[in-house]
Structure 1
Amino acid sequence: MLRETWGPDAPHSPDELWSAAVTGSGVKSVFRYTYGAVFADLQKFPGAGAWHSSELGPLFGTFNRSTATPAEAAWSATFQTAVANFIKDPNTSPAVNWPKYLPGPSAETFAKLAYNGNVEPGNFVDPVASTSLDGPCDALWNRFVDFTA
């Protein structure tokens, strides 16, 4: 299962809750990611980052190829390959350095994709702790929901 969280600084994602529930139920092949928007022409303003579904153009190759930069075209091919790898074998990492997701604040199993112009197959994944994106949400949700029960 590929689970996405949108935006470079999204304060909360229900995907954290779903991903924790899915892994808690025994599913071992969850690969969670956030996308770092390398297509400048799709950003509302410079540095705005990604939003829901903004990775679909690169994934399906439906972006303006006449205005795309070489990095944008490379990202499209890289992301298509990663998703195809996952579809072919959902029990194996879709890309180098992309670990299976494990819930927990210290596990570096959350993948930041293409955040710093890294769009090539061997470098587009930066594994980070899920708290890098989910921390603000955890403080709130942990008051209401007990995931250890």
Structure 2
Amino acid sequence: MTVRKPVTEAYGPEVTGTGRVMLGLGARAGVPADELAAAIDAALRQAGLDAAGIAGLATVDRRAAEAGVRAVARRHRWPVLSFEPAQLAGVEVPHPSGAVAAAAGTPSVAEAAALLAAGPGAVLVLPKRIFARATVAIARG
């Protein structure tokens, strides 16, 4: 695995900016909407953010079409942005995972998807938070 330089990180609601705020989601296959929603709600609370302030949900392409992911996005009226593993692998993240790389073909899904979706110069508002079968990260462009 390649060593990646950490990206600039900025934590908490005190991080200001006019860029869009994107939620990155990694999950095992078939995780139901209620479980994903609970993980997302917990991450939003930890970041001091409200779901209404999130511009969209970003994830790896193979999860974007799953019923649970789509249902959570519909609930919040978030668009779902999907990225191929190779695109995500090109994003420098502060917390890469060898286990995720082996399973998903990229060392990061949640952090990389959030940063990529938030756009150039994005920073993590909330680094990845790992739940039972999902991982959530939040970035601001």
Give the TM-score normalised by structure 2: 0.27
Could you say which structure has the larger radius of gyration?
Answer: 1
Name the one with the larger strand percent. Answer: 2
Q: Which has the higher contact order (CA 8 A, sep 6+)?
A: 2
